[in-house]
Structure formats: C-alpha cells, structure tokens
Structure 1
Amino acid sequence: MANTFLKANKIAAAALGLLQREIVLPALVWRDAAGDFAQAAGDTISIRVPARTTARSRTLRGARPTTSEGAGIITMDELTETKIDVTLDEDLYSAIPITDEELTLDITNFGQQILAPQVRAVAEGLENKLAAEMTGATYATTLTLDTADPYKTLVDARVALNKSNVPMSERTCVVGADLEGIFLKSEHLSMADKSGSDSALRDAVIGRVAGFGNIYVSNALPPNVGFCFHRTAYVLSMRAPAIPDGASYGRSQAYQGLAMRWLRDYDFRNVQDRSLVDTYAGTNIVADGPDGPDADSDPDFVRAIKITAA
C-alpha cells in the first residue's frame, strides 16, 4: 500500500493546520513509576498504598484488667499495606514505509510529513489507553449530572471526595464534549466572576469551580462522561524501548512529556525506508483500603468520581 503525498505545485502556500485533538489526560495523572520497570518480573511493578489505622483511647486512672483477662492496658492493632500493580502490557506504535520514489520526488520535509504524524498517533494511542482505563473502572461513587445546574453535581463530587479524605490539592475534573457544552451553558460555570477564573474557557480548560482545579475537556473520553479525581487516582506508566544495536538510526525522545523511540532503517529488498515510532505503556487505578467500618472488604476506588449524563 503506497503513501499519498501531494505534489508541490498543488499545495497552497499557506497550509491548513491538521485537525487534531488536544492531548489532555496524561498530564493530569500520576506517572512517577515510569523509570522503575528495568528487570521487573513480568514487566510489572507494585506501587505501595500506605496502611491506615485508627487511634484508640484509654481512661486515665481507670481500672486495670486482671491477669485472667489475658489483655494488657493497651490494645494492639495491625497495619496492612496494599499495593497496586502496573504492567507494561502494550507496545503502541506507528510504522510507515517510504519508497525511494516518494523520498526523492514527493517528500520535502521528512519531519513534518512523516515523523510528526507518527509521533502524534502514538501520543493519541497513549491517551486512548488511559481513557479506556478511566471509563472502564468500577467507582465507589458514580453521579448523574444535574443538567439544570451541573454546579450541584460538582459540589456532590467534592463532598464524596472529602468524605473519603482525598487531599484537597491536585484535584481536577475532566469531561467529554457533551458535558462541556452543558457546563458552559450553566450560569455558575459560564460567568468568570462566579467560576473564580478570569477565563471561562481557554485552551480546552474551563475555569476553577467548586474547589477543583481547572476543569479540562478531552475528546479522548466519551462525550457524555466526566471524572473528578485526585492526580494519584490513575497511574500511567510508559517507557521508550531500547535502541537496538542493529538499527541504522535510533533515538529516544519525548513529545508533550510522553517517552517514545524512533527507529529508521532501509529495506533494500523492497527499496524503501522504514520509520517506526513506539513506546511501552501500562495503566491502572489506585484503590484504597481496607479501612474503618469496611476493614474486611476489598479496597475501594474512592480517589475519583465518575459523572454521567442521563
């Protein structure tokens, strides 16, 4: 299958910009585990979730237990840490062949015409993987959007996070296109003086509201879904593969903070160059527990709230 390139005399001097979505989600989640996969068994690392316990009390000068009771003055508790496993389970890549004829007669700028679309494709693939993790997770709290006043739903999300002791800092919301439209039509969210921001909408960002950081818009999400979460609710791990010794040319690089590898070599049998851009990636959620009244149950995913439109 041949590539299709326009001849120079058929291209307007002012080229149209490529219609492409903003890459939003990877910058909003936890990515500090990216460099820990070397020599990890099963390409998997475990992220420690700290144990929690509850303080007890005793009455001063109170009655002491007798020896027959078999208990001391102090009640001893146990700490139970949990872990989150993240596995590099996918190689996201873009591979393009370029014939000698195309390279000689059609390509005027290899970086713009070949490499840039490849890098962009892999970046969108990473975001799609993260979006699939977010939409497919099981949440302790799922809210239905109040379309008449979506501000109330954001307040409910804030309350749910507060009850679960989710830190106030580094909270954010991200929504699909349909929810963005509903938010922007809301009196609470469209007026700058009420949203607490000097701009109701700029660069895929709705202003701060209801104690959250900026509300972001992502076309990687289904249009009728949104999430309010702490940065540590989701984990995105990635690693640029090693440059093989046999590659004619190879380089590791980052695009919008996303690690990638670029390989380029020549296939003389088919008289063509080959360009490959790829990265290894894995995702997961961070569930908390057991704790408190549900100490005997499985960990709950409380660091994020899912919002759906009816």
Structure 2
Amino acid sequence: MANTLLTPDVLARQSLVTLHENTVMLPLVYKDLSREFEGTAIGETVNVRRPATFTAKVFDPVTGIEIQNATETSVPVVLDKIADVSFEVTSKDLTLHILDFDEQFLNPALEAIAQHIDRALLGLRSDVTAVAGTTPAGFEWNKPEVLIEAGRLMDIAKIPTANRYAVTGPTTKAQWLNSDIVKHADKSGSTEALRRGSIGRDLFGFEAFQTQNVGQAAVTPAVGQPTTEVGVAFHPNAFCFVSAPLEIAPGSNASVMTYKGVSIRVAYDYDIKFKKTVVSLDTLYGVKTLEKERAVLLKGADKA
C-alpha cells in the first residue's frame, strides 16, 4: 500500500495546537481574530475590538431601569510582524505519521515561533509604569509576597480580581520555589502546580508562570537599567495579540487555519532545481498595550 503524504491541512491543524501549547504569554492576553482581517498584508492596521464596559446603576422604581449603550470600542493595531520558520524535508519525511513528523520537525519549528511571539508580547512591559518589588520590606521581587503588593496596586486601579496572571523568569522562579508558601503547596490539598513545574496556580490571587524569555539583568547594568529580572503581573486586557490569515497564492500547496485567536499558514513545495522539498510555517501578527493600568512590573530597583 502506498504511503500517504502529509497535506498542508493536516500540518496546519497540528501546528496550531502545538503553537498554542508552547507559548506562555499568548494564552494569557486578549486576542482578536476577525474575518474582516482576511487578506490583510504586513504593515496594515486593523481595528481591534475592546470588550464593552458598563457601570452599575441604582434602580429607581419611579423612573425604571437605565439602558446603557453596549457599544464596543476599538483600538488600532499594526500587523507588522511575520514569524517564519522554513526547513527542508525529504519525500520520505512527508510519509511519516503526523505524530512522528510533529516530534521531528513541527515541534522544534513551532517552539521557535512560540518563543518569538512570547518575546514580542513581553516587549510590551516597556509601556507599564506601575512597579512592585522594591518596597515595602517583605514584598521584594524575589519573594512570592510581591504579588500581594501587585494585587494592592491593581485593586487601587479597580482591576477585576478574576483572571490575574504573573509571568516571571528563571531566577525569580527559583527564588519563589524556595519559599515555604510554594514548597508546602501540597498542604493546601493541591500539588498540581508542583507536578506541572509551574510556580503556582493561586498565589495571592494570581496564576503564576515562568518563561525563559524574561531576560536576565546585565552583569554590570548601566545607570537606569534593571538590576533584576523584570516580570509582570497583569489582567488579560492589559495587552493584546492580533493575528490575521495570510493569503494563499493561486496554485500553491498551502493551507491557512486558525485556533484560539491565532492564524498560521503552512506551505510546502518541491524545488526541482535542488531536488528538495521546503516546508514553510508563518503567522502574521501584531501586539499592543491596551491598558497599561492593568499591569504591574515585578522587579527590584534600577541601577542608581
């Protein structure tokens, strides 16, 4: 029986799931993927819908209820990045079972795209001005209690208490994991966080994660530069990720699929000149800070 080639549709479907599972920041931020974005080219601006906001009113039995407009506002986001990974495969590679192909090729390729997207989203930290981790004593950046201070700042800013996340780097994670609060998580009846290797599922009202894409401080930081890792605590609506389906060239062997706010294009073609098959994965996207007030940096003091 002849082997069946893996099609772009199959590769694209598997790629989206793998990409979403490999990212840290992407699942935590606001995403908008509308059909009106189809056919968008790199450098174009799209208007991202922001969730509607309402104000609770006191009911007056004489005048009745007050109808509020549920009009969604929008914010412009430039789709200025295409994350791309292209690689060569043999005809034999394309006859592998999808799980084998995923392990050998898709996973490493999509890990690279995932890291790229996470770094782009973490780059939005430069827009955030609120800081926790320098004062007061006992709430320093290298202690999980810093989230108490971050929560206080977010409470003052009237940020919803639900869906609060914290993303830190390897050094912060190591410091936090040495805390009795995290080490003794099993005493609260839940060891899920420790089994998964994450920092904690409910630390002072935050779900905490770590990623290697939170860079380390410079060995000899200049004046004004951070002396520690710079993590971030935030609500999803602080940052947004926007993806748009890329066009498929007529006659090309390609497929575009979307999953949970992310669009990816997978194409492959045989290069007759060099007798090789090239597989290409790419995604068009843009990132933007929606409300910096919904985020707090987790860091120590800058170099004086």
TM-score normalized with structure 1 length:
0.67
| 1:136 maps to 2:138 | no
Letter in 2 for 1:286: L
Counterpart for residue 61 of structure 1: none
Distance change >3 Å, CA 84–CA 254, structure 1 → 2: closer
Letter in 2 for 1:307: L
Letter in 2 for 1:245: P
Letter in 2 for 1:25: M
Q: What is the alpha-carbon distance in structure 2 between the residues aligned to residue 215 and residue 266 of structure 1?
A: 45
Q: Percent identity?
A: 25
Distance change >3 Å, CA 216–CA 304, structure 1 → 2: same
Q: What is the alpha-carbon distance in structure 1 between the residues aligned to residue 30 and residue 51 of structure 2?
A: 13
Counterpart for residue 115 of structure 2: 124
Q: What is the alpha-carbon distance in structure 2 between the residues aligned to residue 308 and residue 196 of structure 1?
A: 30
Q: What is the alpha-carbon distance in structure 2 between the residues aligned to residue 267 and residue 149 of structure 1?
A: 52
Counterpart for residue 210 of structure 2: 217
Counterpart for residue 114 of structure 1: 105
Letter in 2 for 1:86: V
Q: What is the alpha-carbon distance in structure 1 between the residues aligned to residue 28 and residue 47 of structure 2?
A: 21
The answer as to whether partners of 2:83 and 2:116 remain within 8 angstroms in 1 is yes
| 1:44 maps to 2:46 | yes
Letter in 1 for 2:283: T
TM-superposed CA distance for 1:285, in Å, is: 0.8
* SS state at 1:302 partner: helix
Letter in 2 for 1:236: F
TM-superposed CA distance for 1:200, in Å, is: 4.8
Letter in 1 for 2:267: L
| 1:252 maps to 2:230 | no
Letter in 2 for 1:92: A
Distance change >3 Å, CA 117–CA 193, structure 1 → 2: closer
Task: Select the structure with the greater relative contact order (CA < 8 A; seq sep ≥ 6).
Answer: 2
Q: What is the alpha-carbon distance in structure 2 between the residues aligned to residue 27 and residue 209 of structure 1?
A: 19
The answer as to whether partners of 2:133 and 2:141 remain within 8 angstroms in 1 is no
TM-superposed CA distance for 1:203, in Å, is: 2.3
TM-score normalized with structure 2 length:
0.68
Q: What is the alpha-carbon distance in structure 2 between the residues aligned to residue 203 and residue 227 of structure 1?
A: 21
1:57-72 alignment runs, 5 A limit: none
The answer as to whether partners of 1:204 and 1:218 remain within 8 angstroms in 2 is no
Counterpart for residue 178 of structure 1: 171
Q: What is the alpha-carbon distance in structure 2 between the residues aligned to residue 257 and residue 88 of structure 1?
A: 14
Aligned residue pairs, count = 246
Question: Which shifted more, 122-131 or 162-171?
Answer: 122-131
1:243 maps to which of 248, 259, 266: 248
The answer as to whether partners of 1:173 and 1:216 remain within 8 angstroms in 2 is yes
Distance change >3 Å, CA 24–CA 250, structure 1 → 2: same
Q: What is the alpha-carbon distance in structure 2 between the residues aligned to residue 120 and residue 108 of structure 1?
A: 22
Counterpart for residue 92 of structure 1: 83
Q: What is the alpha-carbon distance in structure 2 between the residues aligned to residue 232 and residue 27 of structure 1?
A: 12
1:110-166 residue CA offsets vs partner (Å, 9 max, x unmatched): 824334432332222222221222x33232x11225449724321111111011110
The answer as to whether partners of 1:51 and 1:82 remain within 8 angstroms in 2 is no
Counterpart for residue 15 of structure 2: none
| 1:308 maps to 2:299 | yes
Q: What is the alpha-carbon distance in structure 1 between the residues aligned to residue 214 and residue 35 of structure 2?
A: 27
Distance change >3 Å, CA 197–CA 137, structure 1 → 2: farther
* SS state at 1:169 partner: coil
Letter in 2 for 1:43: T
TM-superposed CA distance for 1:54, in Å, is: 11
Question: Which shifted more, 249-258 or 121-130?
Answer: 249-258
The answer as to whether partners of 2:33 and 2:242 remain within 8 angstroms in 1 is yes
| 1:228 maps to 2:247 | no
Question: Which shifted more, 150-159 or 189-198?
Answer: 189-198
Q: What is the alpha-carbon distance in structure 1 between the residues aligned to residue 168 and residue 112 of structure 2?
A: 22
Larger Rg: 1
Q: What is the alpha-carbon distance in structure 2 between the residues aligned to residue 255 and residue 39 of structure 1?
A: 17
